Amino acid sequence: MALVSSTQMLREARAQGYCVGAFNVHTMEMLQAVVEAASEANAPLILQTTVGTVRHLGPEYVAAIARVAAQQARVPIALHLDHCHEEELIVRCIEAGYTSVMIDASMHPFAENAEMTRRVVALAQKHGVNVEAELGKVGGVEDDLVVDEADAALADPAECERFIELTGVDTLAPAIGTAHGIYKGEPRIDFARIEEIARRVSVPLVLHGGSGIPEEQVKRAVKLGMAKMNVATELRIAFSQAIKGVFDHNPQENDPRTYMKRAKQAVKEVALAKMEMCGCMDKAVVR
């Protein structure tokens, strides 16, 4: 199976009341781990890379590995570029084979955000590529994206509706109280805001900052209209802790296959737990 656009899988998720897990991967082993989890769970999957990972590995390398994974898997897989501010890099990723991209112009005034998003949508539509955009500002840290808690701003439901009309964007990530990274306390999600945004717009909504949100809050957000949940930090922690554990046990270990095997398993377990939380298990059609 070739890589697919995430548009249809997310529309189906919203219509049927579940959420697709979108996992940020930084190495081939992390990518393999979440693909194995999705295949085992019979779940649709969105692989994601941050701008930092794209610059580190190269979009062509990432897309090539993702294509091989999709060809061997029995579930639909999309490849998404997360939180990109640069139209030039978006073009390069689309040319490399990405099937979904995020233009994040949320740091700009509404009109400028809408215009940048509209341009990317016009380009991506020619290639059948999904486009995600953000309104408001999600707090926390992701790569070199840093939004202080004081600067985080929640999305306005009326602006969300207008934004969709102006841009034709496929999916929308409204800031509703979540944050990138690990939460210092209980997440303060504005569920009433999610409900109002979902009432006003028909496109699938995206829950950013999915690491560490309690299960009951995730399920409530999904029920209200969230169709995609991004998970990054918990995967990195699981991956790193597993490798550290190998060296704690045997400081002389020098075979990457040994510690990468443990790291892959740790990431797979986190991904499976998130897929169950999202309700997307057994939502893919096995070939």
**Is there a binding annotation on residue 233?**
yes
Task: Please say if 282 is a catalytic residue.
Answer: no
Q: Is 181 annotated as a binding residue?
A: yes
Q: Tell me which H or E stretch contains 101.
A: strand 100-103
Is 208 annotated as belonging to a binding site?
Answer: yes
- Runs of H (alpha helix) within 73-156: 87-96, 110-125
Task: In whole angstroms, give the CA distance from residue 31 to residue 276.
Answer: 18
Could you give the CA distance from residue 274 to residue 23 in angstroms, rounded to a whole number?
A: 10
192 annotated ligand-binding residue: no
Catalytic residue from among 82, 151, 248, 255 = 82
245: left (phi over 0), alpha (psi -120 to 50) or beta: alpha
Q: Report the alpha-carbon distance of residue 241 to residue 128 in Å, rounded.
A: 38
232 is in an annotated binding site: yes
Torsion of Cα atoms, 172 then 34 then 2 then 15, to 10°: -40
What distance in Å separates the CA atoms of residue 22 and residue 227, rounded to the nearest whole number? 10
210 is in an annotated binding site: yes
**231 labelled as ligand-binding?**
yes
Binding site residue list for Zn(2+): 83, 104, 134, 180, 208
Q: Which residues are catalytic?
A: 82
Binding site residue list for dihydroxyacetone phosphate: 181, 209-211, 230-233
Binding site residue list: 83, 104, 134, 180-181, 208-211, 230-233
